[in-house]
A and B are shown apart, each in its own frame.
Chain A
Amino acid sequence: MELSRHGYADAPVGEAAQDALVFTVNGREERLRVDPRVTLLDALRERLGLTGTKKGCDRGQCGACTVHVDGRRVLACLTLAVAVRGRSVTTIEGVCGHPVQRAFVECDGFQCGFCTPGQIMSAVAVVEDGRARTDEEIREAMSGNICRCGAYPNIVDAVQTAMNQDERDRSGVRVVRDAAV
């Protein structure tokens, strides 16, 4: 099967398609034989049993499948598994105990929890990127992750909490960050 004409830069071509796909997930090397059409989302959930990443829409509209590939956020439902050959994938299982995860608990940044793995993966990237500082910028940066339960204000609080651990007003008075309020 000739895959190169579909434009997958990293996909195996011809005989190489028989080789196992080798990539790193949460620091651990994995080898899988996959049909080239398998999405990274299905590979993670069905083949590797990493069901923390959720399938919300399977068409790139909700963000529930957000993971990191080489540190950048991607939608796993729109990423082919073969496209991450040789790359490093991080899922929600790989950020256990992260300050962002703790901030989500502290700020009640979730209700049903279905969007939460995607929200946390996005939030980790936003915090580590560091360019979004105001509530407005954080809202914009997090708008790729839909939450039907409406936890957005608390999600913004969680991101701010994780970013400003040292800067938080320790007197307990909530720091008013939005100029509009």
Chain B
Amino acid sequence: MPELGDSTAPPAASAGGSGSTSTNGPAVQLATSAAIEALLELATGTPGSPFHGGQVRFEKGEVVADGLAMPFGELLSSLDLPAVEATATSPRNRVKDHAFRSFGAHFCEARVNRWTMETRVTRWVCVADAGTIVNEKTARSQVIGGIVMGIGQALLEDLRLDTATGRFTNANLGDYLVPVNADIPPMDIHFLDYPDTLLSPLGARGIGEFGIVGAAAAIANAVHNATGQRVRDLPLTPEKLLT
């Protein structure tokens, strides 16, 4: 029987508004530092510890002093402890004279069939400045997903309302078109990965909602470049380009 809302994950800032990593990340970072500090205090302050009374540092998962390096798990076991814990709070950002936004540029190549006016997107490049990129693999996938949605917005998606009844007339995937695999070109995504330390020590800003912004505009500009036609009504269907 599935239980809704049952999770072992702790309460955290919600995954929305492109704020999850930028908000939870610094707190995790601080708590990790505090836990390492607590570990090193245990190492030097516990009688019987191989590091008792000495000078220690933490390197690559190991507690290190002159001539001795021990993985932290081994140290905890030797002190008969199951774990070391710490709590930390990341401070609220109080910078008043700066706004924090992620920025980027979309470059889109599109081809428009000269007779049918069908538009196909053939190449895409996106360069983003979102501060520190914590996970390059998933960050790239997130931006790609946004661009795919932008291609849908620009060329395919059209929700039609029956004004007499207020109901949607094309509420199914056969009539409301979302991009399929063959609609999507190869994508080249780059991040500057430049830490925004004014925001937090982690330096990560947001990319959750980033990818779709400006994607449809890039496509519309490419269509204008190809056809000379400026269409400001999405989706850019062949009918709108056939004059």
What residues of chain A have their CB less than 8 Å away from a CB belonging to chain B?
56-57, 59, 61-62, 108, 111, 135-136, 138-140, 142-156, 178, 180-181
Contact = CB atoms under 8 A, between A and B. Distances in A.
Contacts of A111: 141-142, 145
A59 B178 CA distance: 16
B180 to A, nearest CB: 4
A181 B123 contact: yes
Given A143-B181, A156-B181, A151 B186 contact: no
Interface string B173-211: 110001111101111100000000000000000000000
B141 A151 contact: yes
Interface residues of B, number: 26
A155 B141 CA distance: 11
Contacts of B145: 111, 149-151
Interface stretch (B65-73, B146-154, B159-167, B234-242): B146-154
Contact of A150 (B138, B184, B185): B184
B184 A180 contact: no
B144 interface: yes
A152 B179 contact: yes
B141 A146 contact: no
B137 A108 contact: yes
The residue in B122, B123, B184, B188 that gathers the most chain A C-beta atoms within 10 A of its C-beta is: B184
Is chain A's interface secondary structure helix, strand, loop, or mixed overall?
loop
Interface in B100-139: 122-123, 137-138
B149 A150 contact: yes
A36 B123 CA distance: 48
B172 A139 contact: no
A180 B137 contact: no
Contact of A180 (B123, B146, B179, B180): B123
Contacts of B178: 146, 148
A62 B173 contact: yes
Interface in B17-49: none
A97 to B, nearest CB: 22
A180 B172 contact: no
A144 B181 CA distance: 8
5 contacts: A61-B174, A108-B141, A144-B180, A148-B149, A180-B122
Contacts of A56: 173
Contacts of B172: 57, 59, 61
Contacts of A57: 172-173
Nearest to A106: B137
B144 A150 contact: yes
Given A57-B173, A150-B179, 9 more contacts: A62-B173, A136-B182, A140-B182, A143-B182, A144-B180, A147-B181, A149-B145, A150-B149, A154-B141
A150 B148 contact: yes
A142 B181 contact: yes
With most chain B CB atoms within 10 A of its CB, the pick from A56, A144, A150, A156 is A150
Name the residue in A136, A146, A152 with the highest tally of chain B Cβ atoms < 10 Å from its Cβ. A152
Contacts of A146: 173, 178, 180
Contact of B173 (A61, A140, A150): A61
A138 B147 CA distance: 20
A139 B182 contact: yes
